[in-house]
Amino acid sequence: MTLYKKKSDLFEKINDIKGKNLIIGLVPTMGSLHKGHLSLVERSLEENDYTIVSIFINPTQFNDKKDLDSYPKNLIDDCRYLESLSSDIIIFSPDIDEIYDKNLSVKQFDFQGLDKFMEGEYRKGHFEGVATVVSHLFKIVRPNKAYFGEKDYQQLRIIQQLVIQNNIPVNVIGCKTIREYDGLALSSRNAKLDLHSRKIASKIFEAINFCRDNYKSKDLEKIINDIDIFFKNISEIELEYFIIADSETLTPVKKITKDKQYRVFIAVRIDEVRLIDNIELN
């Protein structure tokens, strides 16, 4: 494992790799790595000559300063974790100025409506921040492939849109969500849950699974209403949204059409920790 903090040092390495016509896979992360991240890294190791893992807590994608300040940081453990997978992994963990050059601003994008609902609605400016940092990373690393988890499905769709719209020659690859024994999607934020909240968090998967089990036989509005009542009865969980949407356009729907793909999306707060999840329905 080699750790780079400076763009200029990484450039040299990347020029060398590109000069040999070798293939680069990028796994962008904000650190505090868990098995979900590692599954992306393993896939990149299998499919590329070089794997670069970026570890950068991107300030511009947080609309809540408390959330940013409390985001878990574990660079030493992250490096150890990656080293245990392969000693060839390149880690890029820059300071804020290396990415933003003392200008902590976001670019403007047209996400073609993909950002209108769910995270885009509840975390204003979030996707501009994500797309800005991912654009910077793509420019610095020049990867052939980039790996993103389906847990952040809306983010994945937005990045797919970003590369198409801007003709960025990167193959964006979505990878399946990795779950705990009780269905809770792996997330760096899970580390912020105490024992009781962690137990309660399994209700998120219970809710989206209920939707998957019932969407064929029940009215979607009835399902959404049942879920609303389900969470009102769990005082520890505050439901932010529960939305069934077209997997392509991410537009919420009230009816399922056979020839389209749909997913159910959820965001909740448990003891101030915000968690999201989604699964495909058909």
Residue type, 34: H
Residue 28 or 143 with smaller CB distance to ligand PAF? 28
Among 32, 44, 58, 135, binds ligand PAF (CB under 6 A): 58
Among 152, 161, 162, 201, binds ligand PAF (CB under 6 A): 152
Q: Is 29 in the site for ligand PAF (CB under 6 A)?
A: yes
196 is an active site residue: no
Total count of residues recorded for the chain: 282
Q: Is 30 in the site for ligand PAF (CB under 6 A)?
A: yes
The one catalytic residue among 37, 126, 136, 196? 37
**Segment lying near ligand PAF (by CB under 6 A), choices 24-32, 86-94, 213-221, 239-247:** 24-32
Q: Least distance (Å) from ligand PAF to the CB of residue 221? A: 31
What are all long-range contacts of 60-69, with beta carbons under 8 Å and residues at least 24 apart? 60/100, 60/104, 60/105, 60/106, 60/125, 60/128, 60/129, 60/132, 60/133, 61/125, 61/126, 61/127, 61/129, 61/130, 61/133, 62/126, 62/129, 63/123, 63/124, 63/125, 63/126, 64/123, 67/274
Q: Least distance (Å) from ligand PAF to the CB of residue 135? A: 10
Nearest to 108 by CA among 152, 162, 70, 147: 162
Beta bridge partners of 25: 51, 145
The number of beta carbons lying within 10 Å of the beta carbon of residue 247 is: 15
Q: Is 154 in the site for ligand PAF (CB under 6 A)?
A: no
Distance CA 142, CA 17 (A): 11
Among 14, 17, 26, 28, binds ligand PAF (CB under 6 A): 28
Q: Is 120 in the site for ligand PAF (CB under 6 A)?
A: no
Residue type, 38: L
Distance CA 280, CA 212 (A): 8
Binding to ligand PAF by CB under 6 A, coded x per residue (else -) over 72-111, reads ----------------------------------------
Binding to ligand PAF by CB under 6 A, coded x per residue (else -) over 127-146, reads ---x--xx------------
Q: Least distance (Å) from ligand PAF to the CB of residue 186? A: 12
Q: Is 25 in the site for ligand PAF (CB under 6 A)?
A: no
Beta bridge partners of 237: 270
| Binding-site ranges for ligand PAF (CB under 6 A) | 28-30, 58, 61, 130, 133-134, 152, 155
Catalytic residues: 37
